[in-house]
Amino acid sequence: MIWEFVKKYYIDSIVYKTGYNPVNTATWALILVVAVYYLYRFLSKRIRFDERFFLSNVPYVLFGSFLRIFEDAGFVKPPLSYMLMSPFIYVLVFLVTFASLLTSLKLRGERYWVFHCTLGSVLATFTLSFLLLNLRVRHLDALFIPLTFAISLTAVFYPISRRIGTDGMGILLFFSHMLDASATFYGITYLGYWELHVVPRILVNKFGAWILIPVKFAVFVAILWIIEREENYQLRNFVKFVLLVLGLAPATRDVTRMVFYV
């Protein structure tokens, strides 16, 4: 019975690409919360979560998203390909990022971000270059249209951001989730993709993919308002960073996948 439960709710969703279900979603969310808690306790004593921390880690998010396409395009076969699927790819990219961050802190101290960002940029550039050399660009519209939507929605959010007191990191976080919502809407509506996550899938099935844009807009206005009420600078910005990763990673993967149509 235990094996059947594990196979049904965890293994099959990866092997057969059936998407998330309530059980594995709750499990991964719980693991994420615990991991984030202990990571915050470790890093908050060693590093300041400022704009340099944010920007120096963005290349690793892009690297992970481009690496994810290796599995989508079939460059890697099972069982190795399972390591490039959620949740394992998050663990893999985290280990690379964490090792680079600790090494950069040890070698460069407060200027860690220079080496850290450089290495991440090299990794992201290498993986994207591999995709460009081995796949044909088929839908540039899938890059420009979601990007235009996300920029426009962020522009609408900008005066709101001034009212709730968020900063550039909060605006970048908001943009990442608007790009995710816009890319999902475009992919489902025009290119035949489908939603993997439980709650968005319910909303899409009931109302249509367009609903994700206003829902995410409202939700993240509320989330940022709540975050900005937190007085602890370190905690406030670390939560923003975690939410940035959860938005930018799938957004970049979705856009890249649609561009190559894999």
Tens of pLDDT, residue by residue over 175-207, are 999 999 999 999 999 999 999 999 999 999 999
pLDDT reading at 11 higher than 90: yes
Q: Residue 21: what residue type?
A: N
* Alpha-carbon span 64 to 123, nearest angstrom: 9
Using CA atoms, how far residue 230 sits from 97, 227, 235, 238, 243, in Å, is 27, 6, 8, 11, 15
* Alpha-carbon span 8 to 135, nearest angstrom: 34
Q: Cβ distance 54 to 241 under 8 Å? A: yes
Rounded to the nearest angstrom, the gap between the alpha carbon of residue 229 and the centroid of all alpha carbons in its chain is 24
Using CA atoms, how far residue 53 sits from 46, 153, 182, 254, in Å, is 12, 25, 26, 25
Chain segment 94-139, per-residue pLDDT in tens: 999 999 999 999 999 999 999 999 999 999 999 999 999 999 999 9
Residue 195, helix vs strand vs coil: coil
The region that residue 208 occupies, defined by phi over 0 for left and psi between -120 and 50 for alpha, beta otherwise, is left
Band the pLDDT of 19: cuts 50, 70, 90.
confident
Band the pLDDT of 251: cuts 50, 70, 90.
very high
Average pLDDT over residues 222-228: 97
The Cβ-side half-sphere exposure at 208, using a 13 Å CA radius, reads 5
Q: What is the mean pLDDT of the chain?
A: 96
pLDDT reading at 250 higher than 90: yes
Please name the residues in contact with 262: beta carbons below 8 A apart, sequence gap of 6 or more.
69, 72, 73, 74, 135
Using CA atoms, how far residue 215 sits from 56, 177, 208, in Å, is 30, 11, 12
Q: Is 109 exposed, middle or buried (0-12, 13-18, 19+ CB in 10 A)?
A: exposed
Band the pLDDT of 214: cuts 50, 70, 90.
very high
Band the pLDDT of 1: cuts 50, 70, 90.
confident
Q: Cβ distance 223 to 236 under 8 Å? A: no
* Alpha-carbon span 112 to 55, nearest angstrom: 12
* Alpha-carbon span 1 to 122, nearest angstrom: 47
